[in-house]
Structure formats: C-alpha cells, structure tokens
Amino acid sequence: MAVAFHDLSSDAGLKKLDDYLLTRSYITGYQASKDDIVVFEALSKAPSSTYLNVSRWYDHIDALLRISGVSADGCGVIVEGSAPITGDAVATPPVGDSKAAAAEDDDDDMDLFGEETEEEKKAAEDRAAAVKASAKKKESGKSSVLMDIKPWDDETDMKKLEEAVRGVQMEGLLWGASKLAPVGYGIKKLQIMLTIVDDLVSVDNLIEEHLTVEPINEYVQSCDIVAFNKI
C-alpha cells in the first residue's frame, strides 16, 4: 500500500490518525477506496468519541459497508469508484494501469504519520484554532444597572464625586445618564446608569474594588444597586 499506518491499537496511533483525518474525508483521494477498508479492518473496535475525526470516518465507512450488505471482513466489498474488493484484494491491493502503478511504487515508503513539514504543521494548527474559535464564539450578554451613590454628608462636593465615579474606566463598562436626588437633611445622592458586559465586569467588584476605595472614598460613603436588568 502507498499509505502506512502504525500502532492503531494505541492512543498515540489513534491520535495521529485523528490529526490526519482533521482535513480529510477519506484515507486517500476524494471517495472511499480499498485504503479505507484496510485501515477500518486494522481497528479492532469502534474508536472512542474522544477521537472525533476518526469516529466520524469510522461511522461513515461502517455505514458504507452496511449499505452494500457486506461484512466487515472485506469480502465482496464494493466501494464507489473502484473494483469489487475481496479478502485477497485487501491483503494484496490490485494494480491499476501502468501510470497508477508507477505512482504507487514511488510512494511505497511514504509514512503519512511521519514528520510534518513546518507549513503543514502550521496549516493544521490554524485550521484547528479556527474550528475551536468558531465553536466557542458567542456574543457576551449585557446588563443595564441603576446605582445610588451616597456622599458622606451635605458638605461633600457632588460634582467632584461624579467626576471621580466616571473616572473609573474598564473594558466592558459604559457610564450613562445621571442625576442628583434628595436623601434628607440637605444631603443628595448621585443616581447613575451604567451598562456592563457581563463576562467582563462584575458590579460587586466595581463597588468593592473601585468605588469605595481610595481616593474615591474621600467622596463616596456607600453604593447601592437599585435596578439590574439583562439587555
């Protein structure tokens, strides 16, 4: 055979086969062939779902064998695009025309599970990264929050208080409209809207680590969440 497969009974061998099938539907070419049958029979059992690409390929080849009404021992298998494959043919692959035979001779020592070139390795890594990013990509949720920020007393400069509050900047935080509302005894509180990206900003951490610590706590006595709504 032109394709060499080794140690498919081990995790290492299955991992290499899984990597090989990451960008391929079949062992060789663009349709099922005798090479798929040989590798299929080399596996003693259905692969674990851990090896997603091998499992996909195995199930497909198994389905082709069942559709054609042939047992997995390869006897009488008819694969699309090739001559009937018998048990003898699996053990000794049939020779095609002289051009195909010559090409096969050139590839006799090829080991597709051998060392990859840097270009092939990088291309495989890029494809795997793209698949992973696509599977995990999703838009983060957002929330709208209304907060009461109270000063220490009626002598607190509310303009500087608001400037200090809005001076807190972080990724995923957007300050909105605000107004002063009376509390009593001449004291006013700052009511302010903010929008947050849920995966990036925690309102509790915003209060405990930014709004009630130095130097802002010179103006801010406490913060309360009045309303919290998912957008």
Give per-residue pLDDT as tens, 108-136.
444 444 556 777 778 878 877 777 666 55
CATH of the domain at 178: 3.30.70.60
Residue 50 lies in a domain: yes
Residue 6 lies in a domain: no
159 and 128 within one domain: no
C-alpha–C-alpha distance, residues 107 and 94, integer Å: 15
Is pTM beyond 0.85 here?
A: no
> Which of 121, 136, 151 is the endpoint of a domain?
136
121 and 57 within one domain: yes
Say whether pLDDT at 142 is over 70: yes
Residue 188 lies in a domain: yes
149 and 99 within one domain: no
Range of the domain at 107: 11-136
98 and 61 within one domain: yes
Q: Tell me the Ramachandran region of residue 76: left when phi exceeds 0, alpha when psi lies from -120 to 50, beta otherwise.
A: left
Beta carbons of 199 and 143 less than 8 angstroms apart? no
Residue 1 lies in a domain: no
Percent of the chain whose pLDDT exceeds 90: 37
Residue 5 lies in a domain: no
179 and 75 within one domain: no
184-215 pLDDT tens trace: 999 999 999 999 999 999 999 999 999 999 99
Query: Is the pLDDT higher at 147 or at 113?
Result: 147
Number of domains the chain contains: 2
C-alpha–C-alpha distance, residues 205 and 200, integer Å: 11
